Amino acid sequence: MSASSIMEPTVVSRLQQLLGREATVADPAKLQEVAIDGCAPQAIALPSSAEEIAATLRVAGEQDWVVVPVGGGTRLHVGRAPERVDLALSLEKLNRILTYDPGDLTISVEAGMRIHSVQAECRQNRQLLPLDTSAGATIGGALASAENGPWRAGFGASRDFCIGVEFITGDGFCGRGGGRVVKNVAGYDLMKLMIGSFGSLGVIVSANFKLFPLPAQTLTCLCEFDSLATLIEFRDWLLRSPLSPMAAEVVNPPAVEYFSDAAPRDPDEWAPPTAVAENAPAWQLALQFAGSDRVLARCRQELGEAEHRTLRGEEEAAFWRGLRNFEQRVMSRHRNALIFQVQVPISETSSAIEAASAAATDYNFLAAVIGRVTTGTFVVAFLTLAIDPPAVTQFASAASAFRSRLSKAASAVVLRCPVEAKRHFDVWGSTPIDLELMRKIKRAMDAKNVLNRGRFMVE
């Protein structure tokens, strides 16, 4: 009998005592849904307050449970494969807007609320929370995983507009940083610490944001280039131009075909409805602009001949939806894809994309790349070729070949990778942030290593 099956009644019954029957899920099918790399928890807790989260974490510490906080479940696959998971702590009951002050352009939201619901609420007041993640992500999950999308170019990352956070540390203490006002330096900036910590320090309970006016109209200019070099040259011109696009995304030729809204039924049976790419598709740069007719006309005039096509309305929306859900679309066709979140200094954009293509080719993958050319933030998908699928160790070799071609300033975190391959290399890679300090912080916030044990970069 395995250790986990011995524990089963304990976790479930302790949890039922603590939170009640209705807040404890033990249905095996539901547990499978939150399994991480094949590792399902014994139970799912559905706390409905910060106090209940704290109480759960304190018990977890006493009982040596391993706890995984769960938001929308869209980023659960990120991290090392855990040895065991005892409890999934779902934030789904914490899903309300706490305060929304449209006059002040600020909002306070519980962590389990879906981002698209918050955005729908803001839209009614012609306001925008520019947290543009993949579909289904929650506020807490998007912060914990520092997920960002194309709008990072125009509005900054969540670290730039998250103005307050409340969380429970791994040992059950209530922590809070910032507040509800847009400018605030009272106390340490705990928002920065929680953003990107992947639930390894605390469970985010709620967060406050500064909002932006919703642009009255936008348009997207698709520019095409015959090579990466000419695209980068154009990007450098753009950075010195007076234009300030809301989004500036590169799409490399192999990535173009993943933008279609039509989802395949079975990844192993997928075939495009029509032949893909008879002529080699070009390198695309998608620029989204907002403003009045005059402003938009000026933007297009500045782009001149570089603009190949203009997208508006539903066509524009579909394009960006495809881009935001790039990772999911790739996975729906290549269940064994190796996908990285890459961050480089902007001058290394071209060398990083070339490094990805070269490393992919060397190990029988094909690199599809999208990303923010003005901030150096990319999603790089190493696609497996059906004709000659890679061996398990090839993922590790490809990742290390790619990473070795990046500078020390860069990070390349693996977002997706078959679990069998994960055991052969570190999904986190290197970082230009001191590891010893990170370890100390982890121990200070979660001394018993209850949260996401075995999964994050430091323990």
Partner 1 sequence: MFSFGVARKLRKIVGRDAVLDRPEDLMLYEYDGSLARGEPRYVIFPQTTEQVAEIVKLAGREALAIVPRGAGTGLSGGAIARTGGIILSFARMNKILEIDIPNLRATVQPGLVNLELSNALAPHGFYFAPDPSSQKACTIGGNVAENSGGPHTLANGVTVNHVTGLEVVLPSGRVVQLGSKAASAAGYDLTGFFVGSEGTLGIATAITVKITHLPEAVATLLAIYNDVQQAANTVVALTSEGITPTAIEMLDGWTLRAVEAAVHAGYPLDSAAVLLIELEGLREAVEEHAETVSELCRRCGAREVRRARDEAERQLLWKGRKTAFGAIGRISPSYYVQDGVIPRTRVPETLRKIEEVAKKYSLTIGNIFHAGDGNLHPLILFDARDPEQTQRTLDAGREILDFCIGVGGSITGEHGVGMEKQDLMCSLFSESEREVMKRLRECFNPDSLLNPQKILPSPRLCREAIAPNHASLEAPVASAPELR
Q: How many residues bind partner 1 (CB under 8 A)?
A: 95
Q: Contact between 102 and partner 1 (CB under 8 A)?
A: yes
Q: Which residues pair with 166 in a beta bridge?
A: 176, 206
The residue behind tokens 């910060």 is 50
Q: Which residues neighbour 243 within 8 Å (Cβ) at sequence distance 6 or greater?
A: 287, 289, 299, 302
Choose one: 257-265, 311-319, 388-396, 426-434; the region binding partner 1 (CB under 8 A). 426-434
CB of 189 to partner 1, least distance (A): 5
Choose one: 220-228, 356-364, 381-389, 402-410; the region binding partner 1 (CB under 8 A). 402-410
Q: Contact between 434 and partner 1 (CB under 8 A)?
A: yes
DSSP states along 401-429: HHHHTS-TT-EEEEEE--HHHHTTS-SS-
Q: Contact between 93 and partner 1 (CB under 8 A)?
A: no
C-beta closer to partner 1: residue 24 or 200: 200
Tokens linked to 188: 């340490």
- Pick out residues in 47-76 that bind partner 1 (CB under 8 A): 50-51, 54-55
CB of 307 to partner 1, least distance (A): 17
* Binding residue (CB under 8 A) for partner 1 from 267, 272, 313, 432: 432
**Alpha carbon separation from 275 to 142, 365, 382, 429 (Å, rounded):** 36, 21, 22, 38
CB of 236 to partner 1, least distance (A): 7
CB of 29 to partner 1, least distance (A): 32
Give the separation between CA 205 and CA 239, rounded to whole angstroms. 38
Give the separation between CA 61 and CA 57, rounded to whole angstroms. 6
C-beta closer to partner 1: residue 323 or 373: 373
Give the separation between CA 445 and CA 456, rounded to whole angstroms. 14
* Binding residue (CB under 8 A) for partner 1 from 4, 10, 63, 184: 184
Choose one: 60-68, 132-140, 164-172, 390-398; the region binding partner 1 (CB under 8 A). 164-172
CB of 21 to partner 1, least distance (A): 23
Confirm if 383 and 365 have CB atoms less than 8 A apart.
yes
Q: Contact between 138 and partner 1 (CB under 8 A)?
A: no
* Binding residue (CB under 8 A) for partner 1 from 62, 64, 104, 261: 104
Q: Which residues neighbour 297 within 8 Å (Cβ) at sequence distance 6 or greater?
A: none
Q: Which residues neighbour 399 within 8 Å (Cβ) at sequence distance 6 or greater?
A: 338, 340, 359, 412, 414, 425, 429
Question: C-alpha angle 382/384/386, rounded to 5°?
Answer: 160
**Alpha carbon separation from 119 to 55, 179, 211, 213, 214 (Å, rounded):** 31, 20, 10, 12, 10
CB of 79 to partner 1, least distance (A): 11
Segment (H or E) for 301 = helix 293-303
Q: Which residues pair with 307 in a beta bridge?
A: 223
Q: Contact between 130 and partner 1 (CB under 8 A)?
A: no
- Pick out residues in 274-293 that bind partner 1 (CB under 8 A): 291-292
Site string for partner 1, 333-372 (x = CB under 8 A): ----------xxxxx-------------------------
Give the separation between CA 267 and CA 258, rounded to whole angstroms. 13
CB of 302 to partner 1, least distance (A): 9
C-beta closer to partner 1: residue 44 or 143: 143
Q: Contact between 192 and partner 1 (CB under 8 A)?
A: yes
Q: Contact between 34 and partner 1 (CB under 8 A)?
A: no
CB burial of 240-271 (b: ≥16 within 10 Å; e: otherwise) equals: eeebebbbbbbbbebbbebbeeeeeeeeeeee
Give the separation between CA 443 and CA 158, rounded to whole angstroms. 25
Choose one: 4-12, 94-102, 136-144, 384-392; the region binding partner 1 (CB under 8 A). 94-102
* Binding residue (CB under 8 A) for partner 1 from 47, 150, 164, 371: 164
Q: Contact between 389 and partner 1 (CB under 8 A)?
A: no
Site string for partner 1, 194-233 (x = CB under 8 A): -xxx---x---xx-x---xxx-------------------
Q: Contact between 440 and partner 1 (CB under 8 A)?
A: yes
CB of 37 to partner 1, least distance (A): 19
Give the separation between CA 166 and CA 175, rounded to whole angstroms. 6
Q: Contact between 126 and partner 1 (CB under 8 A)?
A: yes
The residue behind tokens 């399902």 is 40
